């Protein structure tokens, strides 16, 4: 099995896979139904013909560009294994900063309320509820398929009773006058014209509705800023993930709204601007 893994990693590298060894390990572990670490305790064991055939098919699809998360059906986020499918954006480590900031600001709150706009797999809503036992979250998405998957993820992680799932666009499904301590979101923020240049695994497989931020990338962001003020309690927080080049534009838009007090931008693991935070005046 070790030889199979080594050959596959080299093959994926030649085909341009950025994380060739990791992809080879994750896919083989999936086929064998064992943790990745288990591959090393079985290093000398041969793979069965059936396992080789299944592995070969997954590698073929990976070479075509299909993301590993869709091939295995899950992605880890905030140490939680979440089911994913092509109906939802694959959770990224950068989105964990939205959760971390919400948890930091909610540390002294007994029962914070939050709304997650564009919940997708439910990663932000579920991680926040999982880490704060008093939190209650409303998770909104336009996709019914995404919401059903998010519900299953919430049930898996024991937070279904503290998350309300609602289908709709932005705040249109939120009753007038209902307010929250936090508005959280990882909205679509890729400009229209940039989508064609995205890596094939993103461009050809992930849902464009979760990527397309309009002509300048700010279409959904602008709507969030405009609509959130009416649904944030005084002192509540708008916490939004942005694309790295968007910090200046995002901050200018928030300041122009006059309903918010802008706080310092949060940078991601690579040092890029990643999350803007604004406090409702």
- How confident is the model over 153-187, as pLDDT tens digits? 999 999 999 999 999 999 999 999 999 999 999 99
Alpha-carbon distance of 165 to 139, in angstroms, equals 5
Token pair listed for 235: 């002192």
Q: For residue 28, what are the CA distances in angstroms to 46, 52, 174, 201?
A: 12, 9, 44, 19
Residue 107: strand, helix, or coil: coil
Angle, to 10 degrees, between the axis of helix 20-32 and the axis of helix 2-14? 140
Between CA 171 and CA 179, with CA 174 as vertex, the angle to 5 degrees is: 95
Q: What is the mean pLDDT of residues 90-96?
A: 97
pTM of the model: 0.95
Q: Name the nearest CA neighbour of 183 among 250, 249, 256, 105.
A: 105
Token pair listed for 209: 């509705």
Alpha-carbon distance of 241 to 186, in angstroms, equals 5
Write down the pLDDT at residue 41.
82
CATH topology assigned to domain 87-280:
Rossmann fold (3.40.50)
Give residue-wise pLDDT tens across range 119-150.
Answer: 999 999 999 999 999 999 999 999 999 999 99
Write down the pLDDT at residue 37.
85
Q: For residue 225, what are the CA distances in angstroms to 40, 95, 254?
A: 49, 18, 7
Q: For residue 114, what are the CA distances in angstroms to 59, 135, 172, 226, 236?
A: 40, 8, 16, 17, 10
Provide the percentage of residues in the chain whose pLDDT is more than 70.
100
Q: To the nearest whole number, what is the mean pLDDT of the chain?
A: 96
Domain ranges of the chain: 2-64, 87-280
Alpha-carbon distance of 27 to 19, in angstroms, equals 12
Reported confidence tier of residue 216, pLDDT bands at 50, 70, 90: very high
Write down the pLDDT at residue 76.
96
Write down the pLDDT at residue 18.
86
Give residue-wise pLDDT tens across range 10-25.
Answer: 999 999 998 999 999 9
Reported confidence tier of residue 192, pLDDT bands at 50, 70, 90: very high
Reported confidence tier of residue 40, pLDDT bands at 50, 70, 90: confident
What does residue 19 show for φ and ψ, rounded to 5 degrees?
Answer: -115, 60
Token pair listed for 223: 């709507």
Write down the pLDDT at residue 46.
86
Reported confidence tier of residue 43, pLDDT bands at 50, 70, 90: confident
Tell me, rounded to whole angstroms, the distance of Cα 144 from its chain centroid: 17
Whether 34 shows a pLDDT value over 80: the answer reads yes
The neighbour count for residue 76, using CB atoms within 10 Å, is: 12
Token pair listed for 227: 């609509």
Whether 260 shows a pLDDT value over 90: the answer reads yes
């Amino acid at each position: 099995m070790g030889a199979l893994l080594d050959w596959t990693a080299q093959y994926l590298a030649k085909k341009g896979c950025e994380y060739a060894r990791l992809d080879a390990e994750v896919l083989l572990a999936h086929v064998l139904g064992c943790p990745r670490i288990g591959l090393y305790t079985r290093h000398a064991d041969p793979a069965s013909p059936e396992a080789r055939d299944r592995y070969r098919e997954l590698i073929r699809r990976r070479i075509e560009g299909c993301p590993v998360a869709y091939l295995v059906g899950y992605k880890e986020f905030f140490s939680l294994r979440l089911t994913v499918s092509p109906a939802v954006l694959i959770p990224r480590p950068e989105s964990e900063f939205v959760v971390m900031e919400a948890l930091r600001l909610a540390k002294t709150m007994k029962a914070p309320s939050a709304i997650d706009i564009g919940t997708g797999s439910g990663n932000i809503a579920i991680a926040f509820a999982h880490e704060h036992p008093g939190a209650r979250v409303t998770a909104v998405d336009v996709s019914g398929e995404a919401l059903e998957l998010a519900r299953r993820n919430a049930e898996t992680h024991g937070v279904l009773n503290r998350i309300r799932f609602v289908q709709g666009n932005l705040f249109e499904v939120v009753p007038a006058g209902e307010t929250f301590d936090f508005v959280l979101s990882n909205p679509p923020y890729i400009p229209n014209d940039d989508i064609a240049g995205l890596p094939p695994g993103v461009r050809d497989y992930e849902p464009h509705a979760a990527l397309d931020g309009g002509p300048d990338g700010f279409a959904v962001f602008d709507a969030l800023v405009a609509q959130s003020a009416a649904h944030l309690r005084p002192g509540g927080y708008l916490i939004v993930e942005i694309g790295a080049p968007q910090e200046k534009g995002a901050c200018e838009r928030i300041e122009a709204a006059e309903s918010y007090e802008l706080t310092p931008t949060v940078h991601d693991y690579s040092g890029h601007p990643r999350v803007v935070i604004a406090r409702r005046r």
